[in-house]
Structure 1
């Protein structure tokens, strides 16, 4: 098992393949295993790196760690890249990982060669933010009533990931994810909800970048349509394009092979933008 010390945390990570470096940052449940199939599919051309965020799954909870911030989470990502001598890298952040990536490009741009943001949940900018907040509260309460923190997490994941996303989890991965319920709901959630950079900050991002959203979420009647809207908002603020990926909020679970093939040309294009050699890192 590969681990590295990052600040006051020990972080488990996975690295596979060769070629330009791509770091994948997970959101809710913070587990590297969410990326396994997509990373294996891309490992023929890229060095794929993922990690269990601090306190999640195989990354032990630091002593006396009872709160976090998006700054802290971004510092961990930067520390991981520096510690492994993989900076700068293309960084792909999905869901809450996209929130972390936003902070990373603002505070540690030197470790990011290029960035891909997939549906970061900046809920307050969506057209139905109040209803989304109300629904999350209802789901949390119902889940807690039937299954405690793990039940609340399952309810939230069923809403955002869909039944297909939950069904794609292998038993061992599902067990790890549910064991992170207290970290997400008790430590992380508030920090992620509160974080929203200003349009002025976002307009100053200089690294090559794209924003993506799930094609299934384009429909205004989709359960997670607000994620598509939030991606549209971020693309506008960062003066970049919005690309659609197969599936919805978690294509790395529901469409891992199709996601890899959709990402491949985007990664090559970003590498070509990032330097005169056309390579992120060789």
Structure 2
């Protein structure tokens, strides 16, 4: 557990286990703890890297940082793998993290051995982007009105994973996640959803990858997965749980992805 300077930001990261390297990239609130249970289970076979994305939890942003992009987030991930000597690694990304992982495949293929893209938040590719974002926007706006950015995070995750799962998360993790409300609401939300590489770039990806969708996720995530698979040839795989199965079905998630991570080692 330590921090390293990456692209001008101090990136907190955790390493577990031994064996082929696997990086996990989290989505909203960007905390390494999203994958604590999953990382612990996989550490029997892999060197597992988790990290707090810039501006979230224990990763302090550069002074004056107030905007970001898919490219910046992917550059951070690529630089972290290189600095730690873990490239090429298998990369698993969830939601925003899956979008960043896709950008790694396009712009930093040398650091990626294979990838599992769980429900990339590429809302612009679905038939009705506005409808897909309505419930999230409503939850965030209600939270902001009632308690500011921390309450917006609370409402967001209660919508995504349900009250019971959210309330079961370790208190320290929930506190860090809610403390990231300023970054989520003020910097990230609405920034990454429009990401849409052109078809020729997607067709040119040669790194092995799978698209993962959760059985209980809203239909637009399945729609986006099918869109991406149709342009890349990636196989679509299903796993139990919600948009954040690392929280509500971590053991089942590990059973789903372990054989995918073993490929191409």
Task: Decide: shared fold, TM above 0.5.
Answer: yes
**Contact 2:124–2:194 (8 Å) recurs in 1:** no
Give the Cα separation in 2 of the matches to 1:31 and 1:91.
Answer: 16
**Contact 2:93–2:101 (8 Å) recurs in 1:** yes
Matched, 1:60 2:60: yes
| Alpha-carbon distance, 1:128 to partner | 3.4
Counterpart residue number, 1:170: 170
Give the Cα separation in 2 of the matches to 1:210 and 1:3.
Answer: 30
| Alpha-carbon distance, 1:205 to partner | 0.9
Matched, 1:237 2:216: no
Give the Cα separation in 1 of the matches to 2:9 and 2:90.
Answer: 23
Match of 1:252 among 242, 246, 249: 246
Give the Cα separation in 2 of the matches to 1:43 and 1:134.
Answer: 38
Runs of 4+ in 1 over 4 A off after TM superposition: none
| Alpha-carbon distance, 1:124 to partner | 2.1
- Report the more deviating stretch, 27-36 or 192-201: 192-201
| Alpha-carbon distance, 1:197 to partner | 1.3
Question: 1:26 and 1:126, CA in 2 relative to 1: closer, same or farther beyond 3 A?
Answer: same
Q: How does 1:22-171 map to 2 (within 5 A)?
A: 22-171=22-171
Q: What CA deviation, in whole Å up to 9, does each residue of 1:179-209 have, x standing for no partner?
A: 0010111111232123221222211111011
Question: 1:241 and 1:113, CA in 2 relative to 1: closer, same or farther beyond 3 A?
Answer: same
Give the Cα separation in 1 of the matches to 2:79 and 2:32.
Answer: 16
Matched, 1:192 2:186: no
| Alpha-carbon distance, 1:143 to partner | 1.4
Question: 1:242 and 1:142, CA in 2 relative to 1: closer, same or farther beyond 3 A?
Answer: same
Q: What CA deviation, in whole Å up to 9, does each residue of 1:209-256 have, x standing for no partner?
A: 100000223xxxxxx222222122212221111000121211111111
- DSSP-derived class of the 2:237 partner: strand
Give the Cα separation in 1 of the matches to 2:176 and 2:93.
Answer: 20
| Alpha-carbon distance, 1:164 to partner | 4.0
| Alpha-carbon distance, 1:166 to partner | 1.3
**Contact 1:214–1:246 (8 Å) recurs in 2:** yes
TM norm structure 2: 0.96
**Contact 1:113–1:207 (8 Å) recurs in 2:** yes
TM norm structure 1: 0.90
Counterpart residue number, 1:264: 258
Gaps of 5+ in 1: 218-223, 272-278
Q: What CA deviation, in whole Å up to 9, does each residue of 1:64-104 have, x standing for no partner?
A: 10111111100100000000000000000111000111111
Question: 1:162 and 1:238, CA in 2 relative to 1: closer, same or farther beyond 3 A?
Answer: farther
Give the Cα separation in 1 of the matches to 2:44 and 2:241.
Answer: 23
Count of residue pairs brought into register by the alignment? 265
Give the Cα separation in 2 of the matches to 1:88 and 1:151.
Answer: 38
Gaps of 5+ in 2: none
